[in-house]
Amino acid sequence: MDKVILKDIEILDNFGRLDRDILIEICEKSYKTNFHRGHQLFMERDVVNNIYIVLSGKVSLYKISEEGQKRVIFILGEGSIINDVIIDNGSSSVNCEVFEDSVIMIINKDELLKLMEKYFSLTKVVIESMTKKIRRTYRQLKNTVPLKIEKKLAAKLWKLSKDYGVDGEKGTVIDMTMTVTYLANMFGCSRETMSRAIKVLEDKNLIAIKNKKITVINRENLAKYFKGM
């Protein structure tokens, strides 16, 4: 474990706009740890006394169905507050796994609450994080209407290319390693079903895959496809 320093958090979009004095106090109460891909930060029904914030890398929040099927809910990147169970002492409603090697900032929940009581601007950052997750959840609920898996996949890849896309030779590269198994977990379907959906998008020249990295060849065309235009 290492101490969090000012430059760790002042570069984050949400925390970077806080006053320097607030950031210094946050650093004094926090520490950071490196976690490798696959590490379990916490499990569903765990009572989590710390708040986790992504300094670099990505984590995934997921649920396990009664049938044992893994269903990914969110992939969270740099600057994200992973768990928002701050006010009450309830247990976690989701599982959290490190998606790629990451540096995670950890602060005791009670210490963060004290800082939130002291600084409204920090409270606002936490509320905005919670609001963003709620909006994403509403969008996911909207997308649960009957729809072919390839269109659901197209919509998800469009969103991931917006959040984590970088310029590549053929289009927008989603900057994370995406296996067929992980994509299947996102939608709660089999690997075979996901493989067929991927092939549909490849055949339509909407995406390309190389070294487990997905390139969205044209984001506008992909959007038109999943919107049925």
Whether pLDDT at 119 is above 90: yes
pLDDT band for position 24 (cuts 50, 70, 90):
very high
CA distance 80 to 158: 20
User: What percent of the chain is modeled with pLDDT above 90?
Assistant: 66
Q: Which domain holds residue 194?
A: 149-226
In degrees and rounded to multiples of 5, residue 190 shows phi and psi of -80, 160
| Domain finish residue from 90, 123, 142 | 142
pLDDT at 87: 67
Whether pLDDT at 177 is above 70: yes
Residues across the chain:
229
Average pLDDT over residues 51-57: 95
pLDDT at 85: 62
Mean pLDDT (the chain) is 90
Residues 82, 194, single domain; the answer is no
| Domain finish residue from 114, 142, 170 | 142
Q: Residue 192's Cα: distance from chain center in Å?
A: 25
- DSSP conformational letter for 160: H
pLDDT at 123: 93
